[in-house]
Chains A and B, each alone.
Chain A
Amino acid sequence: MSDTAQSFPTRVDISLTVNGEPVDARVDVSRHLVDFLRLDLGLTGAHAGCEHGVCGACTLQVDGEIVRGCLMLAAQLDGAEVWTVEGLTETGALADLQAAFVERNALQCGFCTPGMLFAAADILAQGGQPSRVAIREHISGNYCRCTGYEAVVDAIETVAGARARGEEVSA
């Protein structure tokens, strides 16, 4: 299966689930996860902002952990369980965060938002009421050039409180 003179494969077969659906694909070994999702599967909710792990716009979930979609290769995903913002919107797992982001206007252009939601969900999954500084630290790998960050912290803080009290957040 080599299409150059080199002896290692340039394409590999992978089987995984994306947003709960099984996906079988033959991918270029250099294909990044974020490009695989965006270009091959048409899941454009994960954005590429820097392509080297700094900005966080490509943040999504693989096997329960948040990862940078630009730092993983699709070839690493055989057997993996991948969730994108489209999938978690459907399951409702992000619903309260999404509502709080809209309510508090924690977004402007929205380009950073899907990645930001994953990082936010990650700190909330640790439970309890994180301090504002802890929230800021946890999402400092998610750049936002528009909002000034205050509203993002407010939104996450609100959801943490509501979850701790067992309340619902609605927009």
Chain B
Amino acid sequence: MNTQFVGQPIRRVDGRLKVTGGARYAADFNLDEHVYAVIVNATVGLGRIVSIDQAAATRLPGVIAVISHLNAPRLAYHPHKGAIDPATGERLHVLQGDQVRFYGQPVAVVVADTLDQAERAAAALSITYAAKRPAVDPSASDTTEIMAEASKGPKAYYPADTARGDADAALATAPVRIDAFYDTARENHNPMEPHATVARWDGDRVTLWSKTQFVVNEQAEIAAIFGIPTENVQVISPFVGGGFGTTLRTWSHVTIAALAARQVGRPVKLALTRKQMFFTTGHRPRSLQRVALGATPDGKLTSIVHEGRGETSRYEEFIEALTAGTGFMYSCPNVRTQYRIVPLDTGTPNHMRGPGEAQGMFALECAMDELSYELGIDPIELRRRNEPEIDESTGKPFSSRSLMPCYDRGAELFGWAQRNPAPRSMRDDREYVGMGCASATYPVLFSPTRARARLLADGTAEIEVAASDMGPGTYTSMTQVAADALGLPLDNVRFSLGRSDFPPAPPHGGSQTMASVGSAIRAACAAVLEAAARNREVRPIEAEGSAQRDPEVAARFSMHSFGAVFAEVGIDSDVGTIRVRRALGVYGAGRIVNPRLALSQCTGGMVGGIGMALMERTMLDARDGRLVNAHMADYLMPVNLDIDRLEAHFVDEEDPHVNPLGVKGLGEIALVGMAPAIANAIFHATGTRLRNLPISIENVLTA
């Protein structure tokens, strides 16, 4: 494999556009003659719409239409399950009936000449409801946990139940035991760019300039909802202002934008407000977990029990990897996992960076830390004593696993040896100082992808895939891959993405873009070189190529990334303020295509983990399901001053099995492990074990 550019810290090719305001995000598309749509959201958490009085709103200047279930056309809503949709249940059918399933559900849309007019009219709409008390707290007694349909049976991707040996019996007789409950908060992705869609119909064809991490799914879904052929929908999404999972699904506002544009016969721009993003664009579900560990006095695990519950909505069964890492992280003869979901009166959750792993590894890794204190063994040493030879949950070898090399390198870089293991033993002026560590993991995913390559007469090449770039650098890394495959300078390769008429790409999530899209581009480049060699006259000449994972290799190996994350916190000795003084992550993630981009991807994920540990929590009012802090002033996220000294490093890891490029992906794992490392550091600093996220000053002071 020619690697002139792959592996090099190339500057991002979209950098110039982004620093000059030239990158165009969905809401930046201004069409001639477009009008504005503003969604009106339910102000009750469960019930029925009784009446909508739109007289006052319709009289306001500029108002073109008020659309609700009373006058909206019945949409086809043909069955459609994208790779990213919950397997069981049915999406919200928007503006099709009087039922309110959750607080903030769209109940009407107002279209007006200007944004200000539409907002004013939306506020003037008078809606009455017959409201019931919603169930929004998964720990409350009015909720019932269920086994998700898609998690039933041993073949399920996220099985409801797994067991090897007899974990409960082994726990009962274990010489040393830890048994604790963990609670992690509901979070919202909060990318900086709010969701937006500009919709324009031409006859029975619609074009959507839209924010999406899954271009071809948005196309297919809107086609299914409107009952039109897929090719009648064109999605254009050149730049995505952050996603972290929230734009993997096509949410109801996209349908509303298209519906409004069709109703008024003009192009419509619809941008969600920050507040509206909290209502209808998915969230990381709250988790309630129990982890119990049994061990011998010399630190060999004899039992792991991991029981987890996560939220879902009443109408779809969202499942994720909450207990998925537990079976293969450590060597242990007796392991039992259980995963249930709790349907609530809320919108459906969806994948948020490190979906499931972030919460599940929080519980497991805090428990490992607790065990290390119980045993009096260094937490890294404890992991070393339980490092497995193979994936004991499947009996397969790992395609590669660098957990201990990550710990070794990290311990050295972080200065772990300077740590006095006794809690509350280290101090720096007013602060108690604590150092903690935790493991991270994420599977290596791969999805079949196609790519198109075209050689032009001037010696340049064009590459096209319906992929996305929410920020990590897809534009840049794919240009590197193509330039190497074609033997061209970087400047001679132009990579385009974000159009549904390009060859299809999988969801831009699950850390699979580099592997899947990159491999397809290599195949397309090989194909076009072959075609060009056969036909030296015709230019431009084009070819397509596709990539899939060899199913035999995939069946032979257990494929995951691993990492070791370290955090140092300072706790003010009087007022309990918590500060992350520094953090460091070391990852074994296969080949690193662009170290410059990879570094940023990891530090960004680590900051997400700091948010999860110390700040982020979407709060709901139990009386009516109202989202109490659905705005950026009260939904806290790390700002620059919250961060100090972040480092990310990579161990050399060659993995010939995962995919032709040998890459494992970085986006997801970068968030996993940070929260437990911080919680463990807080224990070390204070001697107080805090098991609920986010950890706040009050928790430190009142524990």
Contact = CB atoms under 8 A, between A and B. Distances in A.
Whether A associates with B in a native complex is yes
Nearest to B605: A148
Given A47-B241, A102-B11, A143 B19 contact: no
A146 interface: yes
A42 B21 contact: no
B305 interface: no
Interface in A43-86: 43-52, 54-55, 57, 84-86
B639 A140 contact: yes
B620 interface: no
Interface stretch (B294-302, B404-412, B596-604): B596-604
B242 A145 contact: yes
Interface stretch (B23-31, B91-99, B325-333): B23-31
A146 B471 contact: yes
B471 A109 contact: yes
Given A28-B116, A103-B11, A148 B643 contact: yes
Contact of B16 (A47, A102, A109): A102
B472 interface: yes
A98 B19 contact: yes
Contacts of A57: 192
Nearest to B602: A148
Question: Among A50, A84, A103, A133, which residue has the most Cβ atoms of chain B within 10 A?
Answer: A50
B586 to A, nearest CB: 15
Nearest to A49: B192
B632 interface: yes
Interface string B445-476: 00000000000000000000000001111000
Contacts of B16: 98, 102
A108 B192 contact: no
B11 A109 contact: no
A96 to B, nearest CB: 11
Contact of A145 (B23, B30, B191): B191
A169 B599 CA distance: 22
A131 B208 CA distance: 46
Interface in B565-606: 596-597, 599-606
B640 interface: yes
Contact of A146 (B30, B114, B242): B242
A143 to B, nearest CB: 6
B15 interface: yes
Contact of A105 (B12, B194, B273, B642): B12
A160 interface: no
A4 B121 CA distance: 13
Interface in A113-140: 113-114, 117, 133, 135-137, 139-140
Contacts of B192: 47, 49, 55, 57, 109, 111-112, 143-146
Contacts of A84: 21
Contacts of B471: 108-110, 146
A122 to B, nearest CB: 14
A109 B643 contact: no
B653 interface: no
Interface residues of A, number: 63
Contact of A152 (B120, B190, B241, B640): B640
A149 B633 contact: no
A145 B22 contact: no
A108 B116 contact: no
Nearest to A29: B116
Nearest to B60: A4
Contacts of B241: 47, 109-111
Given A108-B471, A146-B242, A48 B194 contact: yes
A66 to B, nearest CB: 15
Contacts of B244: 145
A91 interface: no
Contact of B641 (A102, A103, A137, A146): A137
Given A39-B30, A105-B12, A111 B191 contact: yes
A139 B638 CA distance: 12
B631 interface: yes
Question: Among A28, A110, A112, which residue has the most Cβ atoms of chain B within 10 A?
Answer: A110
B637 A143 contact: yes
25 contacts: A39-B114, A43-B21, A49-B192, A52-B632, A54-B631, A85-B20, A86-B20, A94-B19, A105-B600, A107-B15, A108-B472, A108-B473, A109-B239, A110-B23, A113-B18, A114-B21, A117-B19, A137-B641, A140-B640, A140-B642, A145-B190, A145-B191, A146-B242, A146-B471, A149-B643
Given A44-B24, A145-B190, 8 more contacts: A39-B30, A49-B194, A109-B18, A109-B240, A144-B604, A147-B604, A149-B638, A151-B599
Interface of B: 11-12, 14-25, 27-28, 30, 61, 114-117, 120, 190-194, 239-242, 244, 271, 273-274, 470-473, 596-597, 599-608, 631-633, 637-646
Interface of A: 3-4, 10, 28, 30-31, 35, 38-39, 42-52, 54-55, 57, 84-86, 89, 94, 97-98, 101-103, 105, 107-114, 117, 133, 135-137, 139-153, 171
